[in-house]
Structure 1
Amino acid sequence: MKSQPQAAGKPAPKFSEFVAPVSHPLPLWILYPLFFMWIYLPHGTLLRLPYFWDEAGYYIPAALDFLHTGSLIPHSTLTNAHPPLPSILLAAWWWISGFTPWTTRTFICMVSAAALLGLFRLARSVAGNAVAAAVTILTALYPIWFTQSTLAHADIFAAAFTLWALSFYLEPYGSSERRNYIAVAVLFSLAALSKETAIITPGALALWEFVRLLTEGKASKEFPGAPSWRWITALLTPILPLALWYAYHYHQTGFIFGNPEFLRYNASANFTPLRVLLSLWHRAVHLTLHMNMYVPVLCTVAVLLMPRRPDETLPPIRKPLLPTLLVIVLGNAFAFSILGGALLTRYLLPVYPLILLVCVCIWKERLQRWVWLAVLTGVAFFAAQHINPPYAFAPEDNLTYRDMIVLHQQAIHILETRFPGATVLTAWPATTELEHPELGYVHHPLKIAPVDNFSPAEMEKAATDPGTYDTALIFSTKWTPPPGHFNLSRSSQGSDTRFFDFHNDVTPAQAAIILHGEIVWQASRNGEWAAVLHFPRVVEASLTPPQR
């Protein structure tokens, strides 16, 4: 790359003032097997679990449809216009390895390891090997990342491509600038084709590049890596393949963004100021407090309040890198305060590593023994995998999802063995678990009588038509602190019920009273519970002689 002349009367800023180039002699391909084993071995007891939640509800059926028919539009489940790349990759892997939960979860471990390798590349290029190792280990231990590392959701695919794209976007520049433009455009496009909301990050960065281009003016062209129309073009490139997918989806189904109910729940019903503000609050909690994330955040705040060391060197994160990371975090937080009917934490999966990167860089800048803060954070994250916080949360945020799966397996085994011809009253996701043997819960499909949830209102409604079912499978749909225990989410239950579909599940005893049945089996694990109810029906029968 040819050097550019300096602006008159003002020396051009050196790029070292913006990003600290770091030597990294160790090839990345050597690290990938280590990263894979780091993910695979701790998940050994989880690899043979049947499919869970949105896996069972959408992603596995959609990928099976592509494997069996080659159709990018799923037909065994409602289409919601999610891009098809996860289905294509899963189907290709099943074609090689066979279709079992173990092979699927092994493949997701491989994807998670690839994502962590991209994160390591990103952190190493801006802050060195020590920071990169710490950030990568902490990310792998963080409960939300840990659980998503075996679940076949689109979010882990999008996170992998996003982190690799950011590793090229934030790479210190040399002779490979053109390669970085191409890599960023391709990788962000693959992220968008994994999940449509992955377009948020390159969109926010394109806006940031445009603002820098306007504010920094001519002086910004005097050093490598300056904002430019080339970067804006590369960052906006993912819009094209995503638009082509939506055009194809519209041509095939008549809907651009999925069925109308899906669009209403995830977008059009969310545009109220109060809901957006409440969502922002929830997203702030998710990014700074949830699952013990408050430990590294509070450590960082404490470190920033300490006086600087006399021999302190320049910080590893320099402008405009720190504002760039802030743009990504805020862009995702604001976007996911509007998009998505459920405030699932996995939507923010690629953002958590960036927060940890900032924290670790500040620790290394201010403290000589910063490693102890990393150890403290790692212990806190490991504890959060097993110890639930004092508020309601989705089971997939830590290993509570394993407890839910095991309870469903036990309950469905009771139904299969004792009531094989029953019609089961239950709610999603058990409805799909009972109807589809390929998900790993039943050997043969069972008839179901679906309800929306296990709220008192839904149970009362089901009680008015008792002839449509003769058994029931009820379970906890979220983890909540037991009655009488400290509950931080109790004060927000009213707004959560109004805007985020929160409800209190009836207990098995309450369901038995409302539905006039008897509990034949119930169990609980670490706050999760499930129960099977039976309803002995009295049927009046009479013989009618045949007419001549």
Structure 2
Amino acid sequence: MATPNRSRTRFSLLAAPAGSPLPLPFLYPLFFVAVYLAHWNLLQLPYYWDEAGYYIPAALDFFHTGSLIPTTTLTNAHPPLPSLLLAGWWRLCGGISVGATRTLVCMIAAFALVGVFRLARGLAGPIIAGVVTLLTAIYPVWFAQSTLAHADIFAAAFTLWALSFYLVQPTLVRPAPHRFAWTAVFFSLAALAKETAIVTPAALALWEIVQLFIAGPEELADRPGRPVYRRIHLFWIAALAAPVLPLALWYAYHFHRTGFVFGNPEFLRYNATANLGSARILLSLWHRVVHVTFHMNMYVPVVLTLALLATAKPINLIPRSLRRPAFPAILVIVLGNLVAFSILGGALLTRYLLPVFPLVLLLCVSVWTARMRAWAWLAGLTAATFLTALWVNPPYTFAPEDNLTYRDMVILHERAINLIEKRFPAATVLTAWPATSELTRPELGYAHKSFRVTPLENFTAEEIQKAAADPGSYDTMLIFSSKWTPPPGALNLSRGHEATDMRYFDFHRDVSPEEAAAMLHGDIVWQAQSKGEWVAVLRFPRSVEARLFVPFANK
């Protein structure tokens, strides 16, 4: 019998696993169209939060000047790959526009979902892969990030593709050489998209080192008397360590150009050195566990899975498709990210965990299919709760970018700034970030011209009192909700830990427009709210001293 010729697919990036009927190149256009149409009413929204504060200004600087180091916003040493991709796409589109930016992010999100499908199909088959991919796509945190030009969706896409090469074929058999190479390439691209993406390959490299020392030579032999398991582990360690090199070269270049390795000192303090207390790390770890098991209705698939596992015999707890080596490796990835992001990052943003959510869903769906014949009902229930969480906010404080609440915030800011432009075109505006950037940078999509701005740190009573001591520096105020909190009288699960959140996580309470007007002796000329987000414009009829403000972000 002739040996099948596999030379055409062996080194193909999009080759399907054996027995799979549908090559991945056919899936990508379908995924992109689905993502694009699902986000249709979000594609023209002005830039939001860290988009406006860093990522878009950095990409614009590269587009206009070719500089990898941002010049119109403070550099925080984020790697430049998102800026390169955005600037290149703008060139192909013939110009800069919000729509072009959001289209590129949809393309990246679709690419990430193909990676999720490839990973899940290789481990658990096409049916489970389809369900996991759909649940990932509609999970509120993922859905919201699928049009936002944050570095996290870029890093997540490359990370998931790297995992599809690392996890699908067991590490204790002889993998094809291209698996090592593509794993190293995709993890390197992930690290160049966002530096914290190095966490996943680092965790897996440590796991390979552990296996190197605990595995016995009898577990695998290339031929009798010739063990090869050590060489395989060493190859994987080398592939997983490879992303350190391009990231180190970037930091060396950044230090050469700026004198700082990890960004400006304030950025480094906020995101790393100020976070090393044991109490803060433990609290952060608790929040991170909540993020991957409870947040935005993730508790539904997790609780269903735990209920099914409670009825299983200990020997059958792990689905056959996810047994060694995939299951322990997935646990290492999840735990590694939870611990790392309990230390790194001043803000507990859930988007940092984007690559983890598909893995949690893969574990859940694999258990359902192994323990219950009517598992499709569990998938349908999970999908319904995820879709609900896109519009219905949870009973605790969260970042608007975790579901479609960010859209309400953007639209309210757009309306407020449009009113200021029409009624007070010469205003000097007292406000806080990110509105400081929205008012001073027309390219962000809010204002048609740059306004003079007097910046506040936030809208706490202390900051308002400081502004009251210098009334000649502004004649208008734009005040808004900086985070979503349950309304007074409603169930608020986060109320009990507000004190620790204020101490460790920069939580604060915004004063209301009425309180600000009373403290600053002004009048509310316009206000609006939408699903818990609110914004107001205050006016102070007096002359002001013009001041220059340079916007920046530190996340």
Does TM, scored on the shorter chain, surpass 0.5?
yes
1:340-379 paired onto structure 2 within 5 Å: 340-379=345-384
**Quick check: 1:209–1:228 contact (8 Å CA) kept in 2?**
yes
Give the match's secondary structure for 1:247: helix
Deviation at 1:321, TM superposition (A): 1.2
**Quick check: 1:119–1:353 contact (8 Å CA) kept in 2?**
yes
Name the Cα RMSD after superposition.
1.8
1:161-200 paired onto structure 2 within 5 Å: 161-172=158-169, 177-200=176-199
| In 1, Cα distance between equivalents of 2:486 and 2:396 | 6
| In 1, Cα distance between equivalents of 2:174 and 2:161 | 19
Give the match's secondary structure for 1:389: coil
Unmatched runs of 5 consecutive residues or more in structure 1: 1-20, 540-548
2:79 equivalent in structure 1: 83
Which of 253, 257, 265 aligns to 1:260? It is: 265
| In 1, Cα distance between equivalents of 2:138 and 2:318 | 30
Q: In the comparison of the two structures, how many residue pairs are matched?
A: 519
Deviations 1:291-337 (A, max 9, x none): 0000000000111122469x999622112211110000000000000
| In 1, Cα distance between equivalents of 2:168 and 2:310 | 30
| In 1, Cα distance between equivalents of 2:239 and 2:489 | 55
| In 1, Cα distance between equivalents of 2:527 and 2:317 | 60
Partner AA of 1:153 in structure 2: H
Deviations 1:343-378 (A, max 9, x none): 000000000000000000011111111111111100
1:162-241 paired onto structure 2 within 5 Å: 162-172=159-169, 177-222=176-221, 228-241=233-246
1:38-437 paired onto structure 2 within 5 Å: 38-97=34-93, 98-172=95-169, 177-222=176-221, 228-307=233-312, 315-437=320-442
**Quick check: 2:113–2:133 contact (8 Å CA) kept in 1?**
yes
Q: Does 1:24 find its partner at 2:29?
A: no
| In 1, Cα distance between equivalents of 2:312 and 2:192 | 46
Unmatched runs of 5 consecutive residues or more in structure 2: 1-16, 223-227, 545-555
1:18 equivalent in structure 2: none
Partner AA of 1:411 in structure 2: A
| In 2, Cα distance between equivalents of 1:420 and 1:113 | 41
Partner AA of 2:435 in structure 1: A
| In 1, Cα distance between equivalents of 2:18 and 2:117 | 13
Identity of aligned residues (%): 63
Deviation at 1:492, TM superposition (A): 0.5
1:11 equivalent in structure 2: none
| In 2, Cα distance between equivalents of 1:289 and 1:449 | 39
Alpha carbons of structure 1 residues 387 and 506: separation in structure 2 relative to 1, 3 Å: same
| In 2, Cα distance between equivalents of 1:335 and 1:219 | 35
Alpha carbons of structure 1 residues 220 and 457: separation in structure 2 relative to 1, 3 Å: farther
| In 1, Cα distance between equivalents of 2:229 and 2:101 | 40
Which of 459, 468, 491 aligns to 2:464? It is: 459
Give the match's secondary structure for 2:479: strand
Deviation at 1:218, TM superposition (A): 1.8
Deviation at 1:219, TM superposition (A): 2.9
314-323 vs 336-345, greater mean Cα deviation: 314-323
| In 1, Cα distance between equivalents of 2:181 and 2:508 | 47
226-235 vs 90-99, greater mean Cα deviation: 226-235
Deviations 1:412-457 (A, max 9, x none): 0111011110100000000000000000001110000000000111
**Quick check: 1:296–1:377 contact (8 Å CA) kept in 2?**
yes
33-42 vs 383-392, greater mean Cα deviation: 33-42
**Quick check: 2:319–2:366 contact (8 Å CA) kept in 1?**
no
**Quick check: 2:472–2:543 contact (8 Å CA) kept in 1?**
no
Give the match's secondary structure for 1:522: strand
21-30 vs 183-192, greater mean Cα deviation: 21-30
Deviations 1:75-131 (A, max 9, x none): 010000000000000000000112111111011000000000011000000100000
1:545 equivalent in structure 2: none
**Quick check: 2:123–2:168 contact (8 Å CA) kept in 1?**
yes
Alpha carbons of structure 1 residues 312 and 300: separation in structure 2 relative to 1, 3 Å: closer
Q: Does 1:479 find its partner at 2:484?
A: yes
Alpha carbons of structure 1 residues 146 and 451: separation in structure 2 relative to 1, 3 Å: same
Deviation at 1:481, TM superposition (A): 0.3
Q: Please give the TM-score of this superposition, normalised by the length of structure 1.
A: 0.92
1:13 equivalent in structure 2: none
Deviation at 1:171, TM superposition (A): 2.1
**Quick check: 1:315–1:362 contact (8 Å CA) kept in 2?**
no
Q: Does 1:519 find its partner at 2:518?
A: no
**Quick check: 1:166–1:184 contact (8 Å CA) kept in 2?**
yes
Give the match's secondary structure for 1:228: helix
| In 2, Cα distance between equivalents of 1:79 and 1:219 | 52
Partner AA of 2:20 in structure 1: H
Deviation at 1:156, TM superposition (A): 0.5
| In 1, Cα distance between equivalents of 2:169 and 2:343 | 34
| In 1, Cα distance between equivalents of 2:326 and 2:229 | 11
Alpha carbons of structure 1 residues 259 and 54: separation in structure 2 relative to 1, 3 Å: same
Deviations 1:496-521 (A, max 9, x none): 00010000000110010011100000
Deviation at 1:222, TM superposition (A): 2.9
1:491 equivalent in structure 2: 496
| In 2, Cα distance between equivalents of 1:120 and 1:185 | 20
167-176 vs 418-427, greater mean Cα deviation: 167-176
**Quick check: 1:22–1:124 contact (8 Å CA) kept in 2?**
no
**Quick check: 1:32–1:114 contact (8 Å CA) kept in 2?**
yes
| In 1, Cα distance between equivalents of 2:337 and 2:284 | 12
Partner AA of 1:388 in structure 2: N
**Quick check: 2:169–2:175 contact (8 Å CA) kept in 1?**
no
